Structure 1
């Protein structure tokens, strides 16, 4: 399979046609080999326009959804970024092309180990993956200018917002069920307060640990 051609087709048909215009972001999608971050048996479908299961309950976001989330997050060359539920680190690799430093966090230890090997093979030296609880973020490198949550959530812990820098942006997908999509959202910290803006409709599998606790019902 011609992966370079598949990657170009992904960019031209899935990303450019869906309101993604940032040239640096587009260049990152053109340069990072997505097929390396999926199981070998799934490399032939690495560039399909759907969320792709990669093992241990992790999914790579649909390329269009990931591109629009990253564009909304506006990572810059001086920024520090956190990639939560990073899996094998595809989004981490993309962010490494756009930000100064990137930390990927996942509690799926085997995927983290695989991902660090892939990043090393690509000679990416400003990003690393670590094993840890998703809801805890990664305080050691905080505060972050950008936080990407790779998956759908029902609620976000205060700990993540505490790790946002002033002016920092957090992007994720909220909600979504089998009968309807969720919403891609942007949170931004300004003057110590957290604002929220809905970006577009999107759906992807829910992340364990980010479900809302059921309320008491009489």
Structure 2
């Protein structure tokens, strides 16, 4: 696909996939138009990088479709300097978008080879403000906590209390919650030392994150 075709495909992605899913924040639309999604996929899938599909990235993992990435980014409402935890680095595309919105991103991936590939892509594009780690952050990540925002890139049956408690007051967490076939895109905001608000933003579906190793679950 020529660069011109990629540009047209990117325009179509914004106008036909992301905007119709009620992603209207101009900062989010700009970032998703500028970060080259095709640079974060296997070359064999480059022509599908901007399509409304979940592309495989290895280990049975898949990239979120662009429309869901847009809703996540809009819900977190990042501001420059926000400290962000991303649970599941995957391809690194969402990591790049979080950083481009001004976040200082700690991104944790369970699979070392996926983390290494994402690191190479981010370095090639000179994406700043990103620290990558390998491990299981499904129940939280102490290093760098508390966070202004937490992005969970795989679905959870419920949101663990340990994860909510790693938000700063005013901090936001986006996760897809449920067991299918219909799940909820959920925004949790920490409103006080021991209080949180939870809002269901949309019905969707997302492949599960590895189950958190904790018994303290809340919705």
* TM over 0.5, shorter chain: yes
Provide the aligned length of Structure 1 versus Structure 2: 211
Distance (whole Å) between structure 1 residues aligned to residue 113 and residue 159 of structure 2 = 25
TM alignment of 1:29-178, pairs within 5 A? 29-177=32-180
Task: Measure how far apart 1:210 and its partner are.
Answer: 4.1
Measure how far apart 1:176 and its partner are. Answer: 4.2
Matched, 1:13 2:16: yes
Kindly indicate whether the alpha-carbon contact (under 8 Å) linking 2:138 and 2:210 is maintained by their aligned counterparts in 1.
Answer: no
Which structure 2 residue ranges, 5 or more long, are not aligned?
Answer: none
CA contact (8 A) 1:54 1:60 kept: yes
* Alignment deviations for residues 137-172 of structure 1 (CA, whole Å, 9 cap, x no partner): 332212111100001110222222221111100001
Indicate conservation of the 8 Å contact 1:59/1:151, yes or no: no
Measure how far apart 1:136 and its partner are.
Answer: 4.4
Structure 1 segments unaligned to the other structure (5+ residues): 214-218
The match for 2:208 is: 206
**Alignment partner, residue 192 of structure 2:** 191
Give the C-alpha shift of residue 50 in structure 1. 2.5
* Alpha-carbon distance between aligned partners in 2 of 1:195 and 1:87, rounded to the nearest angstrom: 28
Residue 23 of structure 1 is aligned with which of 20, 23, 26? Answer: 26
Q: Deviations 1:75-124 (Å, cap 9, x if unpaired)?
A: 11131111111212111100111123111111111010010111111111
Deviates more, 1:127-136 or 1:62-71: 127-136
What secondary structure, in the 3-state scheme, does the structure 2 residue paired with 1:151 have? Answer: coil
Give the superposition deviation at 1:187: 0.6
Equivalent residue of 1:36, what SS?
helix
TM-score, structure 2 length as denominator? Answer: 0.90
Runs of 4+ in 1 over 6 A off after TM superposition: none
Q: 1:54 to 1:9 in 2, by over 3 A?
A: same
Separation of aligned partners in 1, 2:170 and 2:20: 29
- Alignment RMSD, CA only? 1.7
The answer to whether the 8 Å contact 2:138/2:209 transfers is no
